[in-house]
A and B are shown apart, each in its own frame.
Chain A
Amino acid sequence: MLPNATGVHSMNEMSRNLHVVGADLPRTDAVPKTTGSATYTVDVSFPGMLHAKVLRSPHAHARVVSIDASAARGMPGVHAVLTRDDLDGLSPVYGYFIKDQPIVAIDKVRYIGDVVAAVAAQSEQQAVAALETINVEYELLPAVATVEQAMEDAAPELFEDEPMGIVPDYGMGASGYRRIGRNNCYRFSYKTGDASVAFASCDHVFEDRFVFSRDQHFHLEPFVSVARYEGDTIEVWTSCQNPFPLRKELARVFQHPENLIRVQVPFIGAGYGAKNNCKTEPIAILLAKLSRRPVRFCMTTEENFLTQSQHAAILDVKSGVMADGTFVARSGLILLDSGAYSDASPLVAEKAGYRLPGPYKWEHLDIDCDCILTNTTPAGPYRGFGGTQASWASESQVDIIARALGRDPMDLRLQNLKDLGETYVPGESGLDSDMRVGLNLVADRIGYKKRKRVYGCGMGLSVGFKDAGGVNKPAQARIRVTTNGGIYLQCGTIEIGQGAQTALSQIVAETLNAPLDRVSYPALNTDYTPFDQGTNASSAVVVMAQAVQNAAIEAKNKVLSFAADQLECSVDDIELKDWTIRKGNEAHPLPVMIMRYYGGTGYEFTGEGFCKAEMDHSAPLETKCVSWEFGWGAAEVEVDTETGLIVLRQLVVSGDAGRAINPKICRGQDEGSAVMALTGALFPCMVYDGANLMNGNGLDYRLPLASDLNDGFVSILQEQGHGPGPYGAKSVGEGCMLPVASAIANAVEDAIGVRIRELPLTPERVLAAIDAAT
C-alpha cells in the first residue's frame, strides 16, 4: 500500500461496511426545494422593511467632483440616502489581500456600474425614482478597457496611490509582489529548478499564447441581503458563501465588535464563487443604520453583471521537451484581467500560476501570474479559480507538442503524467488520483483509439487539474445529540447547491449509526455556528468533512462512555445503533438511561471537531495542498468548415470522488460543472465594446440550455479511494470545469488540422483559423 507521507490514502480504508455513506439517498433539502418552501435570502422580509437601490456610474473612469443628493432625500417614500458624505467613522473600503473597493465612490469611479450612491425607500420603484434626482458631476478620465491598454507605460492609473494591503507569506519557490507595473495590482511567482538553463538543453521548445474568455457566474439568485441595525447589533441575512470572513470584514469596515455582528445565511440560489466577501451587505447595513429600519438590497441580473465576473486571461506558455517526448521545463506569464478592483485577484493569481504546469513531470518551472486592473467589472472567484485558465492553456499546448512530435496526444500524456502519490512540486503533497486510470476511462468511453479519421470530425482529450481544500483552511464542527437521539450537525459549510448538507449529514449518520433523517443541519448563524473559512475551494468533503467526522466520533465516544458507566461494563462490550446500546443480546434504549442519570428533562451530548492542514514552510503555499482535483474530459466534434460551427457530438467527463458519499450528488457536480464550462468554450461570454458591457442581461447573455447537449454527453464517476476526506472521499465540485474547453479545441484540431488558441471557440474564430491555415 502507499506510504502515508505522501498524503495519499490507501484503498483498504474504504472497504468497511457502510449503510449511509455511499448510498444514493434523497438529498436532505429535497422537499423544501421541490415544493417551494425553501427559504432563500430573497424571501426574507420584515415589517417596515425598506428597499435599497443604487446609483451606478455611467462612466468607465472619472473623478467624482460633486454629488448633490439633496432632492433625493425629499422624494416620496425615501428614508435614507447614502453617498460618500455618510462614511464618517467607517473604514469604508474592502477587499481580500488589498483593501481598494469603496462601499460607494469616494474620489473616483473606476468602471461602468461602479456604485456612487444608494437610497432606501418604501419600495424599489421609489428608490429608483429618488436616485434619478441625484446630480453627480464627473471629471472624465481616460479609461483602460483591456489588459494590454492598462499595461502601457502612459496608461491612466486606476489607483494613483497604493491601497492598503498585504502580501501573504509563501513557502519554498513561491513569492508575491504588489504594484510592479502599470495597473498591476499583484504578481504571484513560482519557481523550481532553473527553467532558463533547462530550455537550452531541450530538443524542442514551444511557445504559445492562449486567450481565455470571461464568463459571468449567472447564479440565478441575485446578490441580495437584508440588514437590521438595532441598538448596537448589526444583523444581516445574506446570500453569502463565506459568512465568517464577511463578519470579520464588516467588523473592520464598520469599526464594530465582531460579537455584535450576526450573519445568517438561508439557502443560497447558487454562487459558483461569486458570493464571497462583501457585495450588497455594507450598503444594506449602512442604510439600515441611517434609516433605523430593516433594509433589503436585492440586485437585478443586470447588476450582477456589473458586480462580479470571471477573469479573462492571456497566457504565454513556453515548454521545453526532449525528442522522445519527455517534459523538462515550463515557464509562463499569465495576465489576468482583474477588472476595476483587486477583489480575489491575488488569490486567483496564486492558483492560476501554481496550476499552470498541470500534473506533469516537469523538473524546471518558472511562472509569473499578474493581476492587471482595467476599467471593467471586478473579476473575482469563479468555479475552477485560476485552474480553468491554466488548464485551458496547459492542455492545449500538450496537444500542440504531441502533434509537432508526431505523437498521439494521449500517449504523450500517459508518458508524462505524474504517478499516483508523486509530489506535485518539491515540498508539496502527493497527487491523490491515478490520472492514467481517468484518462483511459474517458478515452475508452468516447472511442478515442478506434475513431475513424474523417476530415471535419475529430476527438480531443484533456486532463483538468487543480488543488482542492483551500490553503491553510481551518474548519470546526459541532455535533449535538438530544435525549431522544435527535442529531444537530452545526458547521459553517453552506448549502449552496453542491449537496454538502446531505453529504456531511450522511457522514454523521454513518458515524453515529443512525438513519439520515435523524440528522438536522441548522441554517448558518455566526452567533451559534462553529467557525469556518468559507464554502469554497472544494473544501467541504476534504476539510470540513474531517472536522464533522471528528465531532461525530467525539459525541459517539461520550455516549458510549456514559453507557458503559451505566451498564458497568467496558465500552468495548457495547455498540451504538439507532440510539440504543447493544450489549450482546441486550438492547438498552438510551433515552431511559439518560433520564435516569440526568433527570427527566434530559441532556444533550456534544462533540467538537476540528481540521486544518499543518503549517509547512517547505510547502510553496505554506501548507501542503489537502487534495488534488481532476476532471478528465473527452470531446468529439464535427466542424462545419463552411460556417465555422462546432457541433459537439460527444462530451465525456469524469471526476474522482475518491469515495462518493452520495453518488448522484457527485454526478450532478460533474455534469453541472462540465456544462458550465461550455459557456466559456463555445458561447460569446461577456462582450465589451471598449469599457461598455454589451450583453450583461438575461436575454442577451447566452447560457447553455438542455438543447445544446445531446445523449452523447456522459459523466463517469470514479471512486479511486485515495482522498483525504472520510472514507477516502475527494472533492468533485470544480474538476469537470477544467478539461472541457481544451478537449474541444483539441478535438477541433483533430478534425480539421487547425489550432485555435483563443476562447470562446466561436464560428468566427474557427473560420479565421481555417483562413489563416490555408
Chain B
Amino acid sequence: MMSADLFNVTFRLNGSETSFHVRPEEMLIDVLRERAGLTGTKLSCDLGACGACTVLVDGKPSASCVTFAWQVVDRDIRTIEGLSSGDGDLDPVQAAFIEHSSFQCGYCTPGMIMLARALLDENPNPNRDEVRQWMSANICRCTGYEMIIEAVQDAAERNRSSLYE
C-alpha cells in the first residue's frame, strides 16, 4: 500500500531493476542520493545549468536535478557508481581522468565523467573540437578544461584499442 500522494516508480539503476515510492515533486537526484544512497552524483546549481548532477538516462546525459523521478519510469539510469565494472575495473574514462589529472576538487568530476561516457558511446572517435563542444555542457571551475579534454580524447583512444584487442 502507498499513501495517496506517493506513487511507485520502477527503473533500472546501474543495471538492476529498482523501485521507489516517490512524491510527485521528487527529483531524480534526491532519489539517487537520499533513497538509493548513491552520493557520487552531486547537486550544485539546482537549475540544470552546471551539469554536476549529470547521469545517463537511456545513455543520454541528463541533469538529475531537473528530472522528476516519475520521468524515469522504465528507463535505464547509470550513475558514476555504475560505471566501473563489477570486479572494480575502472571505465576507460575514469582511468584517463586519473592519468591526466583531469580533476581537482572533484565535485564536477562524476558529472564530467558521465558526460564524457555519453559522448564516447555516441561518437567513439570524436575530434578535439567535438570533445570541446560536447564537454561545454558542464561547468568545471577548477581545471580550465584542457586536461579534461585531453582525458576524453585519450579515453576514446583506449576505447578503440580495447575494441581491437
Contacts and interface: CB of A to CB of B under 8 A. Distances in A.
A217 B103 CA distance: 17
A693 B143 CA distance: 27
A26 B44 contact: no
B44 A221 contact: yes
Contacts of A4: none
Interface in A38-67: 38-40, 42-43
Contacts of A272: 141
Interface in A699-733: 699, 703, 705-711, 713, 715
A660 interface: no
A668 interface: yes
B52 A301 contact: no
B139 interface: yes
A672 B107 contact: no
A403 interface: no
B28 interface: no
Interface string B87-109: 00010001001111101111111
Contacts of A301: 44-47, 50
Q: Is the interface of B mostly helix, strand, loop or mixed?
A: loop
A254 to B, nearest CB: 29
Given A671-B147, A706-B145, A220 B42 contact: yes
A672 B41 contact: no
A709 B47 contact: no
Contacts of B132: 706-707, 709-710
Interface residues of A, number: 58
A66 to B, nearest CB: 33
A56 B41 CA distance: 29
A27 B113 CA distance: 17
A269 B111 CA distance: 13
Interface in B114-132: 128, 132
B40 interface: yes
A774 interface: no
A699 B103 contact: no
B101 A24 contact: yes
B98 A675 contact: no
Q: Which of A33, A42, A676 has the most CB atoms of chain B within a 10 A radius of its CB? A: A33
A38 B106 contact: yes
A737 to B, nearest CB: 11
A697 B135 CA distance: 21
A269 B142 CA distance: 10
Contacts of B108: 220
A270 B141 contact: yes
A33 B106 contact: yes
A398 interface: no
A695 B59 CA distance: 32
Interface residues of B, number: 49
Contacts of A708: 136
Interface in A15-39: 24, 26-27, 29-39
A664 B139 CA distance: 20
Given A26-B98, A220-B50, A698-B44, A668 B144 contact: yes
A267 interface: yes
B146 interface: yes
B162 interface: no
B133 interface: yes
B84 interface: yes
Contacts of B148: 706
Given A37-B40, A671-B147, A698 B50 contact: yes
A587 to B, nearest CB: 33
A665 interface: yes
Interface string A534-548: 000000000000000
A300 interface: yes
A498 B104 contact: yes
Given A220-B107, A497-B106, A270 B46 contact: no
A711 B128 contact: yes
A34 B145 contact: no
A261 interface: no
Contacts of A31: 98
A703 B139 contact: yes
Give the top 7 A-B pairs by smallest Cβ distance, nearest first: A36-B40, A698-B45, A497-B105, A269-B107, A33-B106, A671-B144, A497-B104
Interface of B: 38-47, 49-50, 52, 79-81, 83-84, 90, 94, 97-101, 103-110, 113, 128, 132-133, 135-136, 139, 141-149
Given A706-B145, A711-B128, 4 more contacts: A36-B39, A220-B141, A269-B44, A674-B144
27 contacts: A26-B99, A26-B101, A27-B103, A30-B97, A34-B94, A34-B113, A37-B40, A37-B81, A38-B106, A39-B39, A40-B107, A218-B139, A219-B141, A220-B44, A221-B42, A267-B105, A268-B105, A269-B44, A270-B141, A496-B105, A497-B104, A664-B100, A676-B144, A698-B46, A705-B136, A706-B135, A710-B132
